Amino acid sequence: MLWPLATLLAIVAVTLAVGWIVDRVLQRVAARHPQSPVWALLRRCRIPLQLAVAASLLLAGRPLEKLLGLSGDALHHAVLLILIASLGWLTIRIVAAALEAVLGRYESVTDDAARVQRVRTQISMLRRMVSAVIAVVTAAVLLLTFEAMRTIGASLLASAGILGIVAGIAAQSTLGNFFAGLLIAFGDTVRIGDTVVVDGQQGTVEEITLSYLVVRLWDYRRLIVPVSYFVSRPFENWTRKDPGLLAWVALHLDHSAPVEQLRATLHRQLVDSPLWDGMEWSLQVTDCTPSTLVVRAAMTARTPDDAAVLRFEVREQLFAYLRDEHPYALPRIRTGEAPQGRGAPTDRG
């Protein structure tokens, strides 16, 4: 009885020591190579590593059977299941750490925000796919350790063709979303952080999975959209090539509105605004109706959020300027005779 107990305590001590030593080594390597984040990320693998080490030692020494007096085959099988599951978990953690390290390295050497978003989306989708494949393989190996599964394997293979057809028809929507996710990840149509318009709803892509895409709307609601939507229907992507955006404001003014003065006022406002990127701006008369002029003020901003706020500010400031300096330029209903000659109209109702 003492020998199995001592063996079990030794296994626990070795497991804890291996975890501590590996963690300390990774800490020192990460401190020596701060530019490579993979070593710090690999520290997340400590728990599955310890489980794998403990299960391996238990399989080799078999102290539990002797200590507890249980059936050797049943306990041996249980420990084997723990070993297989921990190895699958460890593999998923290692792959995730490696992919995140690749992304971190790419972000440190690239200033192009669009490329970083594209790579982040691709690595996120790749990590999900690899993790799903590893999980499926691990589950299959776990099932194959049961004698009943190996016995019925031949009969399952005989009907695999029919089952595959039935499963393909039943999971058509799921498979469609899966392959749509691959097209989105590597086709660069939409990325995490892009500003999109889906069914009239504007928002920012917050998350992309193999089956759905999460869009955060302006009021912080989340719009959940199947990924197949983005490969089968048209949508607007405002930041696919360039995060900058052209914002515009349409004003309906009286025919006597001082367009030149309004244009100069717009330029002064943009120069004083931190939201304008200094690239483009304009103020033009785009239409004329029997009662009003349609004046459009356009200006560029660095991001869609800046463009939205800049549009609100320009609209408010231009109307305040007209209200205070040129109130006659605001649209009104004419009830008197048309004035003769030049100058601002005075006979208005």
Written as one string, the DSSP assignment of 257-320 is --HHHHHHHHHHHHHH-TTEEEEEEEEEEEEE-SS-EEEEEEEEESSHHHHHHHHHHHHHHHHH
- What kind of fold does domain 173-237 have according to CATH? SH3 type barrels. (2.30.30)
* Cα–Cα nearest to 190, from 280, 120, 98, 110: 120
- Counting as low any pLDDT under 70, the low residues of the chain are 1-5, 61-73, 109, 111-115, 118, 148-182, 184-188, 240-244, 333-349
Cβ atoms of 76 and 59 closer than 8 Å = yes
The residue count of the chain comes to 349
Architecture of domain 245-329: 2-Layer Sandwich (3.30)
Pairing of strands 222-226, 293-301: unpaired
pLDDT at 108: 72
Cβ atoms of 300 and 234 closer than 8 Å = no
pLDDT at 154: 44
Tokens representing 124 are: 């996120």
pLDDT at 320: 92
DSSP, res 340 = P
* Cα–Cα nearest to 197, from 235, 227, 232: 235
pLDDT digits 0-9 by tens, 125-173: 778 888 888 888 888 888 777 776 655 544 444 444 544 544 454 445 5
**What is the radius of gyration, based on Cα positions, of the chain?**
33
